[in-house]
Each structure stands twice: as structure tokens, then as C-alpha cells.
Chain A
Amino acid sequence: MTSPIISLKNVSLTLESKAGPVEILSGTDLSVSGGQAVGIVGPSGSGKTTMLMVIAGLEPVSSGQVDVVGAEFSSLGEDELARIRGEHIGIVFQSFHLVPTMTALENVALPLEFSGVNGAREIARGCLDDVGLSHRMGHFPAELSGGEQQRVAIARAIAPGPKLLLADEPTGNLDVSTGAQIIDLMFELRARNGLSLVLVTHDEGLAEKCDRVIHMQDGRIVKDQNLLIEAVS
């Protein structure tokens, strides 16, 4: 059996607030194997996005063990985590989070340049071509529609050739038809590149496109559905 690409063991995260400590994640365990697509659903405040940030190495945990793409996060510093993200993890956000002062091409080339990859711009061009934006490469984010911005964000996420793609409500800021196109694109690219995918969404229908759906509530995983097995059975 291959080792999982994501392994969370007894992970808890407590943050201080004005009203006192708030437990965001409590004793969470999760294991995702390579190539698997996992949807995370749950009500607002259930800890979905926080769990995604923990997997991305952007939020340190209070206790427990986090292993992602073969690295144990608690032993790594901020810069090592950044390098791992740059090389192995692509992230897509609801609000796109493109650098507003850079063109679509520059945005996509940026993580490659950070990793010191030669021919970053050529690779970025190819990725933009893959998402159907070869005609918008020189445009700034403000000159692009919401759907186009999200395509740029997806191209940027896959450009370094990551093993893992994380997506936080990627269609949340898009209309239904554009959202559907984006999801199709993401799943197509995931299949083409053999990526693992973790998709946070409110939309259970969207989550069901994944191999597996995890239901969260109050910082805990309350249900773990393996849709492939259910489909086979």
C-alpha cells in the first residue's frame, strides 16, 4: 500500500478570541491517498477552510501530526513550508487571489520563478493555453471576468506540476454556468495530471463529483463517504 499524500492524526487547532479560546479543529484524523479527489462539505464555521489551510501549511496546529506530500509539517519552518507549497501544492481560492499588479502570464509564471524553474514563462504560456486563456495572457486581473480570473488561478496552481491541488469554494464567486465550466476544467486537469484534489464546498452536488466526501461539523469529521465504493456497491 502506498503512503497517503495527506495524513492528519488527532489534529486540534485552538485560536484565541476576545471571547476566549475557540476550538476550530478538535482531534481530527484524515488520510487521503495519492490521486484521490476529496470533497469537504459542512455548514459555515464547521472548520472546512481551516482544515484546508492546515493541509496547505498556512495554519500551524495546536496539537497532532500533519504529514503532507511526504513531509511532517510540525518539524518545518515557515520557509520550508513555503518551498513545499511552491513545488508540490497548488491552491485555488474563492476570491482568486491573483496579484493585481501583474498580468495573467506573470501571475502564472510567479510560483515557477520562485522555485527557480527555467523557462517559467514558456510553461506558464502552456498552462494558460490549457485553461483556454492563450488570448488573455497580457491582461491584468482587473481586465478579466470572474471566470477568467479563476482560470488564471487554476493555471497558476497547476503550473509548478504539484502533486496536490487544494480548492476553497472555487465557484463561490461565479455564476452557475461559469462555475460548472470551472469545475469541469479542474477535474479535467486533475485527471490529466494525476493530481490529488481536496475541494472545500458548500455545494453537496459539486462534492459528489469527488471520489470521497467528508462532512464536517464543529471542527470534527462527522461523516466520511467513499463514493467510489458506494457507486460500485
Chain B
Amino acid sequence: MRAQSPATSWGLLSPWIVAFALFGLYPFAFSLWASVTDYSPIRAGTQFVGLANYGRALADPAFWTALANTAFFVVGTIPFTTALALGLALAVQPAFPGRTFFRVGFFVPSVVSVVVLSLIFKGLYAGQGPVNAALRALGLSAPDWLLDPETALPAIMAMDVWSASGYYMIIFLAGLEAIPRELYEAARLEGASAWDRFTRITLPLLRPTLLFVLVVNTVRSLQIFAEVFVMTRGGPLHRTTTVVYYLYEQAFYRFDLGYASAVAYLLFAVTLGLAWAQMRLVRSEEPTR
């Protein structure tokens, strides 16, 4: 039998080694360094500034506005997306003619480019667009959705709930499929109502999936960018400036890369913190037996 040669192993592994070093470790280390300097590629002479960039971000009202907008986005979308996704999953789980058709149909928004979705919704929300046409037909007032500081962010959030729920529906479906059928049958024999079966069997056993959906959706929502870029450019009055949009402006309009790197790490810290808190929260509610 021919032995395995270590040279082949290294050869096969080499793409990852190169990519990880060049596009992973090195940029990571570089950005950590940049975040404690005043680095800018359009200016010579880089100075070590310690944690000043982090302090500057924490003292900048624009950063807090961006963080508040992002938090509002997360808190205002996730309950709706989760509920809609779970509802859809429950509706298309049992076998019935056309089940695959609905599963595929609800998933469609998840495969289309966010830029396309944002362009469509920019049209739907336009002054003369179909949303306002429907409102006028009902005799209601028709705001200029994306130009009004009060409605711009909620309008983007509504689109996000619509576009994201099909994806999480599929994740919930996987969780539902993993629940043993026998549990439902036993409960039915003992006369448990549909609601009882949902709250006593489905929800508790779906907890890991629920946690996964919450964490993944939170991490994704903290990174909202393309929607804002296409629909509002962060306006009106910075009411739709998310953290990543703020990061983009600082880095690629002002070329303040040291500062922007610090903002990126603050966002990373917030992401990790929230993910950790959600895991704690969902775990602690687990019934103790």
C-alpha cells in the first residue's frame, strides 16, 4: 500500500493557508493596529493614539445615533420576523398538496439581491407608488415614506421583515422536523388541545432553533447596509444611518480608517455581547427537570 505523503497534504491545504493569512489574519491584525492609530492612506505619518479612536466614537453623537437606529431596527424587526417565520413554518410543515410550492414561494425573497429588493421597495414607497395609491384609495393619508424622518426607518424595517422571514421559515422547518411525531400523538391521545401541543411540545423543543434564529438574525440585522445605501443614503436627517453605513461613510468618504476600524471593533463587541446575552436568556428559561 502506498503511504500518504505529507507534501500532498500541504499542497491540498495551501489555498486555505494563503487565503487565511492574506485575507484573514493579516487584515485582522492590521485593523487592530489601525484602530489604535490615526492611520489614513491619504495622509503621511501615522501616530499611535492609544484608545483615543474608541473614546472618540463613544463621544460622537453621530455614532450613538447610528447605534440607536440599529438597535431600533433590531428590536423592531426581530419579533415580527421570528413570529412570521415560525407561523409560515407551522403552516407549511404538514404534508398537503402544494406544500413544496408554498415553501419555495415564501423563500423567493431570500434569493434575490438586496439591491433589487431595495430598488423595488423604493418604487413601492414612492410618492405615486402602489403603497400610497392603496392608502389614498382607502381615504387614508399618504406620507412620503422614505423622505419623512418619522417613517423612513420603519419603512425599511417593514421591507426587512418581508424579505427575511422566508429564510428563517426554512430554519424553523428543520427544527420542527426534528421533533418526534410520537410526542404529538401521545398528547392527542391524552386530549391535549392544539394550543397545548404548541406551547407544551413545539415551543420547548424548538428552543435551540429559536436561539439560532435569534442570534443569526440579530447578527445580520446589525450589519444592515445595502438597503440604506439604495433607499435613503442614511437620511433624512441621519434617521436611517445604521452603524455599518456610518462605518462606510467614515472609512470611504472621509478616509478616516483608524477611526473607522475602531468603530468596526465596537460593532463587533456589540454583536458578540448581544449574541451571548441571547444565549444566556434562552438557556435560563429552559425548564429545569
A and B interact physically:
no
